[in-house]
Structure 1
């Protein structure tokens, strides 16, 4: 690759990645175009929501920071004292699937978005889906969550997490994530389609001649007790070997980066590349 070629490869502009990085924008996008893959989102608490738990997230929070778990009474108290509730997303808990140790878990999927001057926007999903168990067991009977640590609900919270592993390495057919690859594909296809179907979508803006724009997105996915795959959040600067990903073998991220560069720089799917092309559906109104 010469310097001239490298100069024409650049990240997607912030106006594009903000669609997913901003949790409020993402929630509104999915509510409008793909509500079946999003947690129920509310604009304010009301008395009909008894017995439920809520995740309150700052729209620009990252790595589990500025995420709070409340029951309805706590949510109402927070709402009354909050000075800027409009900067938060309030999402109802999705009844979770639990692993054999009774823990919630999150699936990290990596999506490569790519647009060239001579090709429409494309999206690819990497086969190395990382499964991250939570640090503490989930207590189904604790409806108020008063006696359950935050680490049971939020993947980044707590210490001494069980080791992460890849989806394809699950040996037990009883694990709720076993065999979920087709569901993950469908979920991520709906996610990227929602972002691309917007009128004047920044993911589909004209690109200068001989230029390629790209974004490597990290999507955190939840699995409901009914086996449905749900989008928790998306990050255009995913952790690749640090933070909660520090226990993931380095070879996983090395392979991810090599596979990404093969497509971004050389526009080739070399043998052994673990990315699979996603269909982008135009379902704009």
Structure 2
């Protein structure tokens, strides 16, 4: 994370309220709107889905965008601006509302509605580092291989399926089917989930940092992590499988990290992606701006 930059330059705010935030905590949304409108000229946008969310950002003009939502809303906005090649020149602000807020906390955003809204008004922009992968995806926090909690993901998917089947079977109420269909259209499509067997033993991966091999396929590993660091570098940690005494982690830094091997899944900013046979991440310094408390 870079040093604090200048204070936000625009007192005109575009407040984009994610539909998940409106459903999950309407009171916090109301408080955030009141605090923001009391300190700046605001235009409030209530998108009903990802397409309207994207249009609102694209039509922001000179207004400073403020997201009211969870980690997914922030990741969606950063990804959209990156693909439009407008991320560098657009400072984002976030009022975290919802259940998934671990990324927001790790970036230094206050998680209370009042404190976060005050930080939007009185804070300063910080330039942040990130990773860009070879499919033009962005990572704000960390990449972890194999994805921690893959088994839990399978359990959650099974529970959701049971809940949906049970609700549809409870009298086949048309209004309930309509609401469930609407919710499914509003919630962003999740990446592919682990589909069948649990993760089977250690992974065999080749990890290359700036073209130098840190670990090869013959050495099984328990975990690999890649995080963006200062100076446009990525910090890599590989934990080999220990035999007897605990093996020391292998550490490296570089601009480009490539992981390859048998098809693997990875967790980036809390979302599981894959399987892929190879993936490359490139570190970008000061790639985006986020308003944080001074």
TM-score normalised by L of structure 2: 0.23
Task: Point out the structure with the larger strand share.
Answer: 2
Q: Which one has the largest radius of gyration?
A: 2
TM-score normalised by L of structure 1: 0.23
